[in-house]
Structure 1
Amino acid sequence: MTLARILLCNVLGALLVFSWYLPQLTLWTTVDDSIFWFFNQFITLRHPDWTMILALLNTRFFDAAAFGVMGILFVLAMKHDPSPKRGVKWTGIGVVMLLTAGLLALFTNDGIQYGHASPTLFFAEAHHLTDIVSIPAKDSAHNSFPGDHGLMLMVFAGFMLKFASRRLATLSVALVVLLSAPRIMVGAHWFSDVYMGSLAIALIVLPWWLGTPLASTLTQAFANRLQHIIRRLHLHR
């Protein structure tokens, strides 16, 4: 990625933040409220099938299934990599990706002073999914900003854009939309939590990490270290 593209991503991220902070612009409030109330009107006893589907999409089981889908894409990316030592290479990519996700999670939890409640807690008249279904599902958060779930999906998509084939990278980007949607639809997150907060962080941070030699160098260092360990194990057999 060229410096111009990195700066363009940063400008887009900054514009997202700027558009949200301007008090005279009600774009995000209008979008957030409209999307929340559109889906919330169907979370009632009159729509049992729909509420059950939403509940299932917001369980820990679905989160685990989503993680499994990302794992499958990761393995496919490794299998389609023509590199002779692709196993070691993609192990290094996985380690760096997890480190990146962990550091960003720490930053969003401890470094961002602003926070707000999810729409289901903000609006007293909101319908709560957990009042209708019996299965444990997430439909609220005392601090939903930024969307941590969406940000982790964007980290995965960013690494796939960097290291995987175009087809798998495109599927990974599509997963960001598909897998972050259930939290928004049920009211556990505002739309802006993901597509302003998470996306702004991703556009500002990830280009400098993935668009420069930093991530590739660290990935290669982990791969070299793993290869060294493998060689030593073979020698001691």
Structure 2
Amino acid sequence: MNTQWKRLLGLNVTGLLLLLSWALPHGLPWTDLDDRIFWAFNQWITPENGLWDDLLALLNTRFFDAASFGVMGVLFAIAMRRDPRPDRLRRWFGIGVTMLLTAGVIAIVTNKAITYGHPSPTRFFEHAARLTDIVSIPTKDSASNSFPGDHGLMLMIFAGFMLRFADRRTAAWSVAFVLLLSAPRIMVGAHWFSDVYMGA
């Protein structure tokens, strides 16, 4: 078995183990981790932390979502420019179309085929601090069904394509931006940690 097949097998086994760990009774250890991460951030959402509240609100607006897609577009352009192949434009056009189709199909499947769901932490915990009760900025801090994390899912699809087709530096930046750009939803309680990093 060559290195490429070993890597593919290893990644699939890792994914299966993650899924099995989530399927354990009561979702342990994910439930405990979800609770700890949520309350670690939620305790800082108070009227006394006005600047922090405003920053979190801005990071969870539609404008920030659009900016996230803009970052992906810039990384895509950088990867295309760094590709030394003479037919790079045609190659990256094909990669882009395939990536968009993949994202569309996965979005449809997650919306139609996955029947499991649960409310976000801010709706699950009755006494959780809600950012929308503190700031005037239109922002997202809750969801009736937060599984899987759709925002994180799209970021991960992009990073997956970059890991496969882009140069190492651009691929590394893509993975870093998955962490940075998906974090705000978790920090305000619009998604559980596992919705993004296991569900997506």
Q: Shorter-chain TM-score: which interval?
A: over 0.9
TM-score w.r.t. length of structure 2:
0.95
The one-letter code of the counterpart of 1:143 is N
Compute the displacement of 1:142 (Å): 0.6
Q: Does the alignment pair 1:156 with 2:158? A: yes
How do residues 68-217 of structure 1 correspond to structure 2 at under 5 angstroms? 68-198=70-200
How big is each residue's C-alpha offset from its partner over 1:49-78, in whole Å with a ceiling of 9 and x where there is no partner? 100000000001111111111101100111
Deviating above 3 A after TM superposition, structure 1's stretches of 4 or more consecutive aligned residues are none
Compute the displacement of 1:156 (Å): 0.4
Distance 1:74 1:7 in 2: 27
Structure 2 stretches lacking a partner, 5+ long: none
Compute the displacement of 1:18 (Å): 0.9
Distance 1:63 1:111 in 2: 25
The one-letter code of the counterpart of 1:59 is T
Count of matched residue positions in the alignment of Structure 1 and Structure 2: 198
Structure 1 residues 97 and 131, CA gap change in structure 2 (3 angstroms): same
Structure 1 stretches lacking a partner, 5+ long: 199-237
- Let me know the Cα RMSD of the aligned residues: 1.2
Distance 1:131 1:53 in 2: 15
Distance 1:10 1:125 in 2: 39
Distance 2:158 2:26 in 1: 35
TM-score w.r.t. length of structure 1:
0.81
How do residues 218-229 of structure 1 correspond to structure 2 at under 5 angstroms? none
The one-letter code of the counterpart of 2:185 is R
The one-letter code of the counterpart of 1:3 is W
